């Protein structure tokens, strides 16, 4: 059994992984758009799930719009500390940008309790109250996406990008479709039930690594 294990140096593991992903996508007959190819492959690399080649939906020109926003120092706001932890903050800081997450803030907990909402909803309200441009990376809470949709419709916020990839069964699919229904909001959406904070972070990193 041990003799069947390929010996790969640690420095070569990622390179070899992407070679395998490229080979298997070719065998499956999947042709990726050059603009979004790296993002799709990084999601597959993170999850070992080739369904992302079909489920990821990109609005027109979203990659360039996202990179332009990062270059302008627009912050990334996540719905989990895990998502925040996974984003390459050193690379982000090169553009004067940062990652913010309000889920653990005391005022967010108080606001959620007072209004009878989730912390994710309260954190989106706090983000809107900042009055700043923002990129939203949502990998866990569909209620965050629903609240973003409402805030956009109420013209209280105008995101530079929404990464909509929460994972789960309750209101996950529906919340993602709400984001896709927004005609003028750049978005990257993982249709269906799959996603997660790790996927949200890897999409952010894939954008950064293209810069």
Cα of 87 vs its chain's centroid, Å: 10
Distance, CA of 30 to CA of 116 (rounded, Å): 45
Cα–Cα distances in angstroms (integers) from residue 34 to residues 40, 41, 76, 125, in the given order: 10, 11, 24, 36
The three-point CA angle 33-37-38 to 5° equals: 160
Of residues 56, 63, 55, 33, the one with CA closest to residue 160: 63
Positions marked catalytic? 45
């Amino acid at each position: 059994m041990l003799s069947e294990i390929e010996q790969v140096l640690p420095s070569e593991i990622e390179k070899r992984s992407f070679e395998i992903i490229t080979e298997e996508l070719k065998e499956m007959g999947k042709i990726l758009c050059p603009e979004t190819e790296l993002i799709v492959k990084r999601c597959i690399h993170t999850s070992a799930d080739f369904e992302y080649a079909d489920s990821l939906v990109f609005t027109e020109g979203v990659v360039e719009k996202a990179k332009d926003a990062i270059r302008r120092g627009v912050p990334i706001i996540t719905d989990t500390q895990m998502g925040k932890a996974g984003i390459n903050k050193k690379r982000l800081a090169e553009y004067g940008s940062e990652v913010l997450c309000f889920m653990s803030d005391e005022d967010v907990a108080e606001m959620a309790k007072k209004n009878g909402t989730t912390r994710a909803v309260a954190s989106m309200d706090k983000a809107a109250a900042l009055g700043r441009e923002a990129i939203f990376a949502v990998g866990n809470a569909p209620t965050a996406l629903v609240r973003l949709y409402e805030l956009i419709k109420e013209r209280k916020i105008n995101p530079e990008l929404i990464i909509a990839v929460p994972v789960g069964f309750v209101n996950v699919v529906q919340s993602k479709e709400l984001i896709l229904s927004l005609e003028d909001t750049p978005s990257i959406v993982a249709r269906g039930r799959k996603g997660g904070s790790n996927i949200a972070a890897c999409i952010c990193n894939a954008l950064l690594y293209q810069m």
